[in-house]
Structure 1
Amino acid sequence: MKNQKPKYHQIIEAAVKVIAENGYHGSQVSKIAKEANVADGTIYLYFKNKEHILVSLFEVKMGEFINQIAKAIEESDAASDQLYTLIKMHFRQISSDYYLAIVTQLELRQSNISLRLQINQVLKPYLTVIDGIIQKGMEQHQFGKDLNIPLVRQMIFGTLDEIVTNWVMKEQKYNLVEMAPEVHRMLVNALSK
């Protein structure tokens, strides 16, 4: 498989950095190739175009993230604890990679409709994890019993996403992970009413 080859990952990592530094529209394939230390033509052995690189880097990074979250939340049976793990890991993942934070919070937002639809497909498994936590919280009577799961999912994801975007816009001047306990407390209080 193409995506199992080292050059594929080399190009993905280079793309994250180049897109973060130059913006999506200012990131030519040749810049990505130079950063990855490969010939321009090598890029096209793995990717159709720049849009495909952006979607692929999001797929790779989001796929890794979803797998880590799924494993971590299995360590606890309580939905509230799982929600805390999800919040903390979301913040930790974003804050651990400066360039990826810029790409996910800023550059992916400026995309065309076709690109947004592809990004939404990549996000679906993450949103399904959130749905599972909400459902479990309702079953365990930790959260309200008649919650509108899609609306609550939007509230949780939207909250985390906005906090991270604000952190990126403020040039990461504070510790994002330290905010996890308070964000968790506020969300659980809202969900348990």
Structure 2
Amino acid sequence: MVKRTGDKYEAIINAAVRVIAEYGYHNAQVSKIAREAKVADGTIYLYFKNKDDVLISVFREKMGAFITEVEQELEKVSSPVEQLYHLIRLHLNKFDQNKQLAIVMQIELRQSNPEVRKGIGKILKRYTDVIDRIVESGIEQGVFRPDLDVRIVRRMIFGTLDETVTSWIMNDYKYSLVEQTEQLHRLFVQGIGK
């Protein structure tokens, strides 16, 4: 396998998002992804073992870049309450700006096999660790209740954001995701704040 960098690799990743969003994971043949990326079918196999590897790589690349963006933004903010606000806004904005990526991340990844779920678990852990750090910092600084179970709060935050995006997709994007930021933030802070 060749190194996973460069224009062709990026073209395949972006094409995979478009094809999987349009046809669904199970109907997204490698040949369709190759056509969309404007590469030969065999080129896909220079970078990826199989279609599952393509889906895991899409998640790793797109979610990995997003997590890095979130981490960089949160470094600029010291208040855990404000960090939580930025996390919510960034999460919702990411999908509001890219409906195809939202479909792949929210719908298609969940229909994949255990190997794919295992592959994305490591990347997802990095994101949940970001949420944990915000909650832990809030407890340490005394702005969040000291009796909180960090794992439960993380599931509440992630699960709510996850369901908010999924519901938006299922309702044909009839409203702005980003406009949900204030209300979700208020809901979380009132639930976990002192």
Hey, what does 1:118 align to over in structure 2?
A: 119
- 1:112 Cα offset (Å): 1.3
Structure 1 residues without counterparts, runs of 5 or longer: none
Q: Which contiguous aligned blocks of 4+ residues in structure 1 show a shift greater than 4 angstroms?
A: none
Hey, what does 1:45 align to over in structure 2?
A: 46
- 1:94 Cα offset (Å): 0.9
- 1:77 Cα offset (Å): 0.5
Hey, what does 1:81 align to over in structure 2?
A: 82
Distance, in Å, in 2 between the alignment partners of 1:182 and 1:10 is 37
Q: Does residue 22 of structure 2 align to residue 32 of structure 1?
A: no
Hey, what does 1:72 align to over in structure 2?
A: 73
Distance, in Å, in 2 between the alignment partners of 1:15 and 1:169 is 21
Hey, what does 1:184 align to over in structure 2?
A: 185
- 1:192 Cα offset (Å): 1.5
User: Partner of 1:145: helix, strand, or coil?
Assistant: coil
1:2-41 matches, within 5 Å, as 2-41=3-42
Q: Please, what TM-score do these two structures have when normalized by structure 1?
A: 0.98
Q: Please, what TM-score do these two structures have when normalized by structure 2?
A: 0.97
Paired residues in the alignment total: 193
- 1:180 Cα offset (Å): 0.2
Distance, in Å, in 1 between the alignment partners of 2:99 and 2:16 is 13
User: Partner of 2:4: helix, strand, or coil?
Assistant: helix
Note the alpha carbon deviations across 1:9-55, whole angstroms, 9 max, x for none: 10000000000000000000000000000000000000000000000
Distance, in Å, in 2 between the alignment partners of 1:69 and 1:137 is 17
Distance, in Å, in 2 between the alignment partners of 1:65 and 1:142 is 27
- 1:171 Cα offset (Å): 0.9
- 1:122 Cα offset (Å): 1.3
Hey, what does 1:163 align to over in structure 2?
A: 164
- The residue type paired with residue 52 of structure 1 is D
Hey, what does 1:146 align to over in structure 2?
A: 147
Distance, in Å, in 2 between the alignment partners of 1:170 and 1:121 is 30
Query: Identity, % of aligned pairs?
Result: 52
- 1:3 Cα offset (Å): 1.9
User: Partner of 2:78: helix, strand, or coil?
Assistant: coil
CA RMSD of aligned residues (A): 0.9
- 1:2 Cα offset (Å): 1.7
Distance, in Å, in 1 between the alignment partners of 2:145 and 2:27 is 47
- The residue type paired with residue 98 of structure 2 is D
- The residue type paired with residue 161 of structure 1 is D
Structure 2 residues without counterparts, runs of 5 or longer: none
